[in-house]
Structure 1
Amino acid sequence: MNIISSAVSLTVADPAASSRFFASHLGFREILAGERFIALGRDDVAVDLVLTERDPERWQPGQGLADAVVVFTVTDLAAEYERLRREGATITIPLRREPWGELMMQLTDPNGVAIQLTEWISPITS
């Protein structure tokens, strides 16, 4: 098997709102759009995002959809955290350091999609 690309597909109520969020706060750009979906990409990310509109006739709350967190590893997370805070992004987990060597934060887009930003750092030793 030879995987040549990858994507995370998120089913949301309003793909355009998520697209604006990922473009304005995280630097993605629209690479393809259709009647009920928008595909986003970045030149420096190996994973594209596909935002698909939820079909209310087929979707039942609590059935068939798993919670998802989109995770991006970044550099200089402290600066990114400050930028996102200034821009008014919805930060659901403030910047924190985990003992195993992860600096992380989490924000949420207008459709409730959780995005975790991570920077790997030295673990806390006692």
Structure 2
Amino acid sequence: MQITASTVSLTVDDVAASRAFLTTHLGYTVQAAADGFASLTRTDAVDIVLLARGTEVLPPEQRDQHATGLILAFTLDGGLQDQEKRLRDAGVEITMPLREEPWGERLFQITDPNGVIIQFVEWVTPDDV
């Protein structure tokens, strides 16, 4: 098996709001879009498909659910603090301020207009190892 791409599909109430957020603040571009659907891409990250709740392409038991309990995480190679500042300066609410965990994970989180949690991570050498 050879995987040529990875995509995460998120069911949201307002596809246009998430599409605008991800293209404006995270540098995604639109591959395709229609009413209740958007396919977004970046060359250096997982592709994202946004589907409106109730869309018939979803299995019946999932049509009325939306993306919850999910964290869309992006690992950065440096510059985490700069990215937090850039997003804050752009008016994006930082829903979890920059912090460092004892196991060496530095992270912060933002939340898109549909409640999708987006986390930015940078790995550092923990002091206790």
What is the TM-score when the length of structure 1 is the normalising length?
A: 0.88
Which of 66, 69, 73 in structure 2 is aligned with 1:67?
A: 69
User: Residues of 2 paired with 1:35 and 1:82: CA distance?
Assistant: 33
- 2:95 alignment partner in structure 1: 92
Amino acid at match of 1:89: V
User: Residues of 2 paired with 1:34 and 1:86: CA distance?
Assistant: 31
Residue 66 of structure 1: how far off its partner (Å): 5.0
Identity of aligned residues (%): 47
Residue 104 of structure 1: how far off its partner (Å): 0.1
Residue 5 of structure 1: how far off its partner (Å): 0.9
Shift in CA distance, 54/60, structure 1 to aligned 2, threshold 3 Å: closer
User: Residues of 2 paired with 1:60 and 1:86: CA distance?
Assistant: 33
Residue 2 of structure 1: how far off its partner (Å): 1.8
Point out where structure 1 has 5 or more consecutive residues left out of the alignment: none
- 2:29 alignment partner in structure 1: 29
1:11 aligns with 2:11: yes
Amino acid at match of 1:91: I
User: Residues of 1 paired with 2:93 and 2:112: CA distance?
Assistant: 7
User: What is the CA RMSD across the aligned residues, in angstroms?
Assistant: 2.0
User: Residues of 2 paired with 1:8 and 1:112: CA distance?
Assistant: 16
User: Residues of 2 paired with 1:124 and 1:111: CA distance?
Assistant: 37
What is the TM-score when the length of structure 2 is the normalising length?
A: 0.86
Point out where structure 2 has 5 or more consecutive residues left out of the alignment: none
